Chains A and B, each alone.
Chain A
Amino acid sequence: MNLTEGAISKITSGGATSAELKPTLQVTDLKQVQTKQPQQSDRFRLVLSDGSHLQQAMLGTQINHLVKDGNLRIGSIVQLNQYTCTTVQGRMIIIILELALVAEDCELIGNPVSAQRSSGPSPSPVAQPGNVNASPKSFGTNSVTGGVVGNQNMSAAPVQSPEINQFHNTPPSSNYGPGRFAPTNAPPLYPKVEATAGSVPSSGLYVNQNAGYLNPRPEISQPHMGSYSRPPQSAYQQPPPMYSNRGPVARNEAPPRIIPITALNPYQGRWTIKARVTAKGELRHYNNTRGDGKVFSFDLLDSDGGEIRVTCFNQVADQFYHQIEAGRVYLISKGNLKPAQKNFNHLRHDLEIFLESTSTIQPCFEDDNTIPKQQFHFRPISDVEDMENNSVVDVIGVVTSIAPTTSLMRKNGTETQKRTLQLKDMSGRSVELTLWGNFCNAEGQRLQHICDSGGFPVLAVKSGRISEFSGKAVGTISTSQLFIEPDSPEANRLKEWFDRDGRNTPSLSISRETSTLGRSDVMKTISQIKDERLGTSEKPDWITVPATVIYVKSDNFCYTACPIMSGERPCNKKVTNNGDGKWRCEKCDQSVDECDYRYILQFQIQDHTGISWVTAFQECGEEIMGISAKDLHYLKHEQQDDEGFSKVLRQVLFSRYVFKLKVKEETFSDEQRVKSTVVKSEKVNYSSQSRLLLDMMEKFKSGNDTSFACKAESSYHNPGVNNAVIGNFGSRQAGPPGSNPVGSTSYTGNVGLPANQLGQYGNQQNPMFPMQSSSGAYRSCNSCGATSHSSANCPSMVNAPGQSMGGSYANRTSQGGTGECYKCHQVGHWARDCPGLSSSGKMGGISKQHVGGF
């Protein structure tokens, strides 16, 4: 049987048409194009060989019957009678319109290589970008696409050739290497799997194409896989190619080839990964609604840097727990891939492997040095500052100090150990690292020894959790790992830096120091609780308020508390009188003869800005009242000593304290209420309080403190304070009546008012407002218009109030700091005087003028 030699190059070069050349060619591959639209007729792609070259072709639909009848098969020899050449997406395709079958079956003739000449940028047929779009849909619509190439590659990849031989020497990644492309030109049916591996372009998008054959939904291929996205196993999973005269190949039970962890996706049934166990968790027992169980998990890292967590439950956990050894390399196959639970699993993989009893874990006895022992994603400490609470981070730093272990009680009554140390790195920041539990003794002790002997060990923390308790700090979690003096480039660089200049560079801590300022030491006024809507955010606000106790609620100042000890402390829950003289606690489910009395003291505090109700509990109540709740209770109820009782109350009234308040909005019977709880109260230390105030005044004078801007009493004396108020009036107050174009809009009725109505303020306002100074008139005395003096010194001032019809506004300027108009929210007037409603009828301000300010 002779094929028309050189026909393919003639056809594809355009040197022959179907009129002159009717070549005899062999079909080396035949495949049905999968279309998304079912109504579309079937299309068949085939690969033709002229004995030396291969070329893709598409069968015209009118001769589909040849394939369907089984006449046209792989191996068939055909004569093309009518055909055209088209270029689809940068590649040459022969469209066969008419052909004659010469032989139905024939052995492969010659050793053809791909003749694909591409008009695209790449000479390799498979590496063409055109492949990227080779989704089934494009087959359906474009008739011919790069998918043909894919098909060719597929058929050239016999299934039975897993790359087992690579397991112990070459990492899978080398499949991407250019060297693997060499077999691209290998003849079809080339029995080496490398043909497939090599012919797959390193472009991860090729996945789409492969998947397209496996699955009508190529979209499933993982978009996140980045440059590793080629799952080589897809070649394996592909349906067996149709070899002529051969039955379908039986299911391949040989181990699938190793794929990178990053390429794992939930749609693969079989895969094998080769990875190192970087961390092995404890076998934990749990108890939930479905009963008891145990779980154990470990983390894997492969040579591509992909990491994933493996979790096993119950019997599976028992089965594998003892097999897994941290640090060893394993081949793992079969298992369920499920989305990772990000709150427990912080590894950089969206999935998690759940092993089943059929899963296999096979240790690799040869260590694979291409798999790193541990993978870190170190972040500089300065970055930690901006990271979210509870996120997991790897940090490396120099331990500058370490505190001894302390033990503390957890809420559930168990005791745990804690040890803190300071880590410092090149970012110029330091952070507090808290070691919990076993870390305190093992790694903590070693660090302590090094620090005690004058060393500054480098510590790498794998998976520390960021907490916001007192600034930003890093704490260990159960999956954390600590590496003291690790041998890594980062550690060496850090050590070098520290020895060179890091030791003497001061670093700013992002932990406690910054936090105490931000937390309970914010000095506020009572009005600020409301004005700044404190407590309405998610977390409570902690503020310090110096204030005076002005009223104490004398009823229900205490409650009956349960004295039964639970753990270290009494239960303190409310107990109720049983009626038989015994007190019953619901929580403890016990009755006691005698109950405790604890304060729940409600009282009002006042400062110069306002009044607020606050609540103080036991310790604070005692501090304020100077007598225990029990004694006070007896005084009032047992001894009925009203005189003594009110004496105690009177003593408390009008005493000044510095209150630390926890301000938090709470909901009581569907009503939102901001509640302030006293967490600490101290008698005012006048000396330090004065210094504080002096400091504030100093800051205020230098103009960088605006916290006083709301204070009424300072508003007159400092021009800056009046901004908001003056803005409303300024344009109208000064200047000759009627000549001011600015004050028109809402104040039209007032334009004609005497200009000096606000005389005494004018001189202070003017410098503040460029708007005003733009008119020369404002530079002069507002009262009499003369330029030689300011209105404050104006001799005509004495008469000014009498002339001022609109004085009400002016007055409000000085009163205004205490409140704002709730109609227009401007300070400076009350709602009943609001100019926003009507500009007339508010002229009765003469008397008020005398009240205001002075």
Chain B
Amino acid sequence: MDTSKPAIFVNGALLPMHVRKRVRTVIQVVGADRGAVVGKSPDDLQLVVKGSPPSAPLTNFVEVIGIADSEKSIQAEIWTNFGDAFDTYNYNQLCQLANGEYQHLFL
């Protein structure tokens, strides 16, 4: 695991707290819009992910890691296909854990 460049787990609601920081989230791909991917965050907010997606077709769920460049968009560096089934509830809980009382446990 690459710990040199930690990325904060975020959901849609937490993203605004981490603008200009390196974040990671999982989105459910909804569509593409002018070179960016539009997706749904684990807490059902709409996010825009910029950057160049990998050549392989994106699956339903995709993890993206990159810099939050606004309250609703991420400039993604790493794209990872997470398949077509993913428990967003759990991921949302994880994001809250990572930004709450036990923040110090996360990178």
Enumerate chain A interface residues (CB-CB to B < 8 A). Answer: 686-687, 690-691, 694, 697, 701, 717
User: B residues within 8 A CB of A694?
Assistant: 90, 93
Residues of B contacting A687 in the complex (Cβ-Cβ under 8 angstroms): 87, 90
Cβ of B50 to closest chain A Cβ, rounded Å: 29
Taking the complex as formed, is B105 at the interface, i.e. its CB lies under 8 A from any CB of chain A?
yes
Q: How far is the CA of A687 from the CA of B105 in the complex (A)?
A: 21
Would A691 and B101 count as touching, CB distance under 8 A?
Answer: no
- A717 contacts B90, CB within 8 Å? no
Q: List A contacts of B105 (CB < 8 A).
A: 717
Please name all residues of chain A whose beta carbon is closer than 8 Å to the beta carbon of B90 when the two chains form the complex: 687, 690-691, 694
CA distance A717 to B90 in the complex (A): 22
Closest residue of chain A to B105 (Cβ to Cβ) is A717
Residues of A within 8 A of B87 (CB): 686-687, 690-691
- Among residues of B, the one whose C-beta sits closest to the C-beta of A697 is B97
Q: How far is the CA of A690 from the CA of B90 in the complex (A)?
A: 7
B-side interface residues, number (CB < 8 Å): 10
Bound form: Cα–Cα A717–B102 in Å: 8
Q: Which residues of B are found within 8 Å of A701, using beta-carbon distances?
A: 101
Smallest Cβ distance from B47 to chain A, in angstroms? 22
13 inter-chain pairs at a CB distance below 8 angstroms, sorted by A residue, are A686-B87, A687-B90, A690-B87, A690-B90, A690-B93, A691-B87, A691-B89, A691-B90, A694-B93, A697-B97, A701-B101, A717-B102, A717-B104
Q: Which residue of A lies closest to B92 (CB)?
A: A694
Q: Beta-carbon contacts of B74-90 to A below 8 Å, as 1s and 0s?
A: 00000000000001011
> CA–CA, A687 to B92, complex, Å?
12
Contacting residues, chain A, for B97 (C-beta < 8 A): 697
Residue of A nearest to B100 (CB): A701
List 14 extra interface pairs beyond A687-B90, A690-B93, A701-B101, CB under 8 A.
A686-B87, A687-B87, A690-B87, A690-B90, A690-B94, A691-B87, A691-B89, A691-B90, A694-B90, A694-B93, A697-B97, A717-B102, A717-B104, A717-B105
CB interface residues, B 44-92, toward A, < 8 Å = 87, 89-90
Q: How far is the CB of A342 from chain B (nearest CB, A)?
A: 55
A701 to B93, CA, bound (A): 14
Interface majority SS (helix, strand, loop, mixed), chain B: helix
For A688, the closest partner residue in chain B by CB is B87
Q: Report B's interface with A, CB cutoff 8 A.
A: 87, 89-90, 93-94, 97, 101-102, 104-105
**Could you say which residues of chain B place their CB within 8 Å of the CB of A717?**
102, 104-105
* Nearest-CB residue, chain A, relative to B93: A694
Task: Please name all residues of chain A whose beta carbon is closer than 8 Å to the beta carbon of B102 when the two chains form the complex.
Answer: 717
Top 8 closest pairs, chain A to chain B, by CB: A687-B87, A690-B90, A694-B93, A691-B90, A687-B90, A694-B90, A690-B87, A717-B105
In the assembled complex, the Cα of A701 lies from the Cα of B96 at a distance in Å of 14
CA distance A383 to B105 in the complex (A): 49
Report B104 CB to chain A, min CB distance, Å.
7
CB contacts (< 8 Å) of B89 on chain A: these are 691
Residues of B within 8 A of A691 (CB): 87, 89-90
Please name all residues of chain A whose beta carbon is closer than 8 Å to the beta carbon of B104 when the two chains form the complex. Answer: 717
| Alpha-carbon distance A750/B90, docked complex (angstroms) | 48
* Smallest Cβ-Cβ distance to B91: which chain A residue: A690
Assembly CA distance A687 to B91 (angstroms): 9
Q: How far is the CB of A695 from chain B (nearest CB, A)?
A: 10
Cα distance A694–B93 when bound, in Å? 8
In whole angstroms, what is the CA distance A691 to B90 when docked? 6
**Chain B residue contacts of A690, Cβ below 8 A:** 87, 90, 93-94
Q: Hey, which chain B residues are within 8 Å of A697, CB to CB?
A: 97
In the complex, what distance in Å separates the CA atom of A694 from the CA atom of B97? 9
Q: How far is the CA of A697 from the CA of B96 in the complex (A)?
A: 12
Closest to A691 in B: B90
Complex CA gap A687/B101 in Å reads 23
Docked CA distance A708–B2 (Å) = 29
B contact residues around A686 at 8 Å (CB): 87
Q: Give the most central of A686, A694, A701: most B CB within 10 Å.
A: A694
Shortest beta-carbon distance, A102 to chain B, in Å? 111
Q: Give B89's nearest chain A residue, CB to CB.
A: A691
Determine the distance from Cα of A686 to Cα of B82 in the docked complex, in whole angstroms: 13
Give A686 to B86 CA distance when docked, in angstroms: 10
In whole Å, how far is A708's beta carbon from the nearest beta carbon of chain B? Answer: 13
Q: How far is the CA of A687 from the CA of B89 in the complex (A)?
A: 9
Please, which residue of chain A has its CB at the minimum distance from the CB of B90?
Answer: A690
* Chain A residues near B101 (CB-CB < 8 A): 701
In the bound assembly, the distance between CA atoms of A701 and B94 in angstroms comes to 15
Taken together as a complex, chains A and B put the C-alpha atoms of A250 and B93 apart, in Å, by: 97
CB distance from A685 to the nearest CB of B (A): 10
Measured CB to CB, the nearest residue on chain B to A689 is B90
Give min CB distance, B106 to chain A, whole Å: 12
Q: How far is the CA of A687 from the CA of B85 in the complex (A)?
A: 10
Q: How far is the CA of A694 from the CA of B96 in the complex (A)?
A: 11
A68 to chain B, nearest CB (A): 102
Cα–Cα distance between A119 and B62 once the two chains are bound (Å): 103
Looking across the interface, which residue of chain B has its beta carbon closest to that of A713? B105
Smallest CB separation, B45 vs chain A (Å): 20
Cα of A697 to Cα of B90 in the assembled complex, Å: 12
Closest A residue by C-beta to B97: A697
How far is B104's CA from A717's CA once the two chains are assembled, in angstroms?
9
Chain A nearest CB from B66 CB (Å) reads 24
CA distance A686 to B89 in the complex (A): 12
A767 to chain B, nearest CB (A): 15
User: How far is the CB of A700 from the nearest CB of chain B, in Å?
Assistant: 11
Bound complex: CA A687 to CA B90 (Å): 7
- Determine the distance from Cα of A694 to Cα of B94 in the docked complex, in whole angstroms: 8
CA distance A717 to B103 in the complex (A): 11
Chain A CB count within 10 A is highest, among B90, B94, B97, B102, for B90
Min CB–CB distance B33 → chain A (angstroms): 30
B94 contacts which chain A residues (CB < 8 A)? 690
- What is the CB-to-nearest-CB distance from A655 to chain B, in angstroms, rounded to a whole number? 18
- B94 CB → nearest A CB, Å: 8
CB distance from A255 to the nearest CB of B (A): 83
Nearest neighbor of A694 in chain B, beta-carbon distance = B93
Q: How far is the CB of A712 from chain B (nearest CB, A)?
A: 14
**What separation, in Å, do the CA atoms of A575 and B94 have in the docked complex?**
53
Closest chain-A Cβ to B83's Cβ sits at a distance in Å of 11
**Chain A: minimal CB distance from B3 (Å):** 15
Q: Which of A686, A687, A697 has the most CB of B within 10 A?
A: A687
B48 to chain A, nearest CB (A): 27
A691 to B94, CA, bound (A): 10
> How distant is A753 from chain B, measured CB to nearest CB, in Å?
28
Distance to closest chain A CB from B61 (angstroms): 12
